[in-house]
Structure 1
């Protein structure tokens, strides 16, 4: 796969990942954490704010993989 195509696909995947992840994390928080104390909200949003980085790192690693010689 050409490097430019791989980077385009990876960029689109990261944008989709961030949007879907934010919607799911916020929906989950609003449904289940409504009556939780402030420190539970803080911990939840701290960890969910960092957790999206793991799949994004995998996508970036795939994007930066050198192209196979022809």
Structure 2
């Protein structure tokens, strides 16, 4: 797979990840134990807001991997 194809697929995967992550985050934010406290909301939004980076890192590193050199025979 060429780097161009990996970047295209990786961009789509990152968009899907961000969309699903944000929808799940918004749904979980409506839980009463989070919604009733301002401090819990602040901690929750910081953790969830930065949490998508961990699953995105392997996708980005896969996107940046160099193409394999084809051996000419």
Shared topology, TM-score over 0.5?
yes
Deviation of 1:38 (Å): 0.3
Work out whether 1:30 is the aligned partner of 2:30.
yes
Q: Which has the larger radius of gyration?
A: 2
Which of structures 1 and 2 has the larger relative contact order (alpha carbons within 8 angstroms, sep 6+)?
1
TM-score (norm 2): 0.88
Aligned residue pairs total: 69
Work out whether 1:5 is the aligned partner of 2:43.
no
Deviation of 1:66 (Å): 0.6
Where structure 2 has 5 or more consecutive residues not aligned to the other structure, the ranges are: none
Runs of 4+ off more than 4 Å: none
Compute the RMSD of aligned alpha carbons: 1.0
TM-score (norm 1): 0.92
Where structure 1 has 5 or more consecutive residues not aligned to the other structure, the ranges are: none
**Hey, what's the Cα distance between the residues in 1 that align with 2:58 and 2:51?**
12
